[in-house]
Structure 1
Amino acid sequence: MTEEELAVWADEKLQQWMDDTNEGWEDVAMDIHQPSDFLKWYPTDPHGHIVSVAAPAYGELVITLEPYKWESSPTDDLAYVGSNTMLRIGEREPNLERITVLTQDGKHSYVATRAQWPPMEG
């Protein structure tokens, strides 16, 4: 895939996550058109601090979080975003194998793989 195709694929995966959030949480969180919209409903949720989603390769996403006050700890918050997005996006995208979540300053990161977080059955 070209860089442009990878960027489109990453944007599609982010949109997929937002669509799933809008559908799955329709009585709780609504109108999620960008990750920061999530903060209206859950002001402490780290997903609301996603500033970019990129695809360095097909099947791999890199999610970057802006600085904010950690709800738990950098390790726990990044793991929550990585595992949750792997489960949600991975259910619809069989080629997603790896998600790396990192802070903008690069000091903290977490890697979620399909092997660790396979799609839920049922």
Structure 2
Amino acid sequence: MRLRLVFTAALAALALTGCSVQTATIPSESPSVPPATADPAPSLSPSPAAAEVPTVQSYDPARGIDSSGQAWADEKIQAWLDNSGIKSVKGFLGAYKLINSWDSPKPGHLSIHLDDSYRFNQDGSSDHLGGPTDELRIMGRVMFESIGKKSPELESVTFATENKQHSGTYSRARTGADPADREAWAEEKYVQWLDGMNDTYESFCSASIKKIETYRDCIPTDPHAYIDSVSSPAVGELVVTLAPGIWQGNTYDTDSIPGVDFVSGNMMLKINRKAHGPEQVETLTVNVQGTKETSTAHKSDWSQ
């Protein structure tokens, strides 16, 4: 079911519909893993989630871990090399082999510096992306997904050229929410989801997606753009309510894949890609206001 949903959604993305029929290509989310050498939309913003994504706060669930300084940065790079089966960053291919140095500007944040010879899509593999920010952010995500599971203290990875002309950051987008506070936890999951949408659609929409309204203006037929509220009735459970709108019976709400199914699975993936271990969503239920439509996704069915 999961693979069918993902592939069908990717095909559906080829035909976006606004007030008039339009055709566009949605950017791919598949990161390019570095090969290694042998060496009528509602105007209200979601509640309790804020209308605008708040500034991500520093939050370390593993409070005893020293997550700052050069030694910590070196440790993270070494873990990435070990997972990749190489001895040096020069063993990577593509833009990754342009890594010259790295450091940690503040606890939990890793900065990786590329040679200024970096050029967007140098190897021709990222033509589906909008520009260098997208490519560099995905590079951060690739590293994040390699070491993040065993690095709960890792908050973000930034790839940037040494002259700072180009940069991209992949982040957990934590808000510092107390896991025992159901309202704050639900808001943090919404923030992480919206940040994940920005990762994918910022270039496509030609806008930084900090508000749900921005995404709705970009893709008005996507049911994700009609999230009205989020809540958490119990630990690990997230309930999302969609407002009615032109998404119903449109491109992403079909007999084969109802919009609620599309939203429940996709939100589960986007949130848990950022959230660490016990911070992840276990069950995610999507309801539609004024209807009996509902869909529940379970983490066990949507693990990557």
> What corresponds to 1:84 in structure 2?
266
Matched, 1:17 2:202: no
**TM-score in terms of structure 2 length:** 0.36
Distance in 2 between the 1:17 and 1:39 partners? 15
Offset at residue 49 of structure 1 (A): 0.5
Distance in 1 between the 2:285 and 2:197 partners? 20
Distance in 2 between the 1:91 and 1:73 partners? 26
Alpha-carbon RMSD? 2.0
**Counterpart amino acid of residue 298 in structure 2:** T
Q: Secondary structure at the match of 2:204?
A: coil
Match of 1:42 among 200, 206, 219: 219
**Counterpart amino acid of residue 115 in structure 1:** S
Q: Secondary structure at the match of 1:51?
A: strand
**Which structure shows the higher strand fraction?**
1
Offset at residue 34 of structure 1 (A): 2.8
Match of 1:33 among 206, 210, 223: 210
**Which structure shows the higher helix fraction?**
1
Distance in 2 between the 1:32 and 1:104 partners? 24
Matched, 1:117 2:302: yes
Offset at residue 86 of structure 1 (A): 0.3
How many residues are aligned here?
117
Map 1:48-63; keep pairs closer than 5 Å: 48-63=225-240
Give unpaired runs (5+ residues) of structure 1.
none
Asked whether the 8 Å contact 2:241–2:286 carries over to 1, the reply is: yes
Asked whether the 8 Å contact 1:10–1:55 carries over to 2, the reply is: yes
**Counterpart amino acid of residue 87 in structure 1:** L
**Counterpart amino acid of residue 15 in structure 1:** V
* Higher alpha-carbon Rg: 2
Moved more, 72-81 or 58-67: 72-81
Give unpaired runs (5+ residues) of structure 2.
1-177
Q: Secondary structure at the match of 1:111?
A: strand
**TM-score in terms of structure 1 length:** 0.85
Asked whether the 8 Å contact 2:202–2:209 carries over to 1, the reply is: no
> What corresponds to 1:67 in structure 2?
244
**Counterpart amino acid of residue 221 in structure 2:** T
Offset at residue 46 of structure 1 (A): 0.5
Distance in 2 between the 1:19 and 1:46 partners? 17
Asked whether the 8 Å contact 2:196–2:270 carries over to 1, the reply is: yes
Offset at residue 106 of structure 1 (A): 4.3
> What corresponds to 2:168 in structure 1?
none
Asked whether the 8 Å contact 1:49–1:65 carries over to 2, the reply is: yes
Match of 2:283 among 98, 102, 114: 98
Moved more, 22-31 or 81-90: 22-31
Q: Identical aligned pairs, as a percentage? A: 33
**Counterpart amino acid of residue 47 in structure 1:** H
1:34-91 Cα offsets, whole Å, 9 max, x none, are 3232111111110110000111112110000001231224861001110100001012
**Counterpart amino acid of residue 232 in structure 2:** A
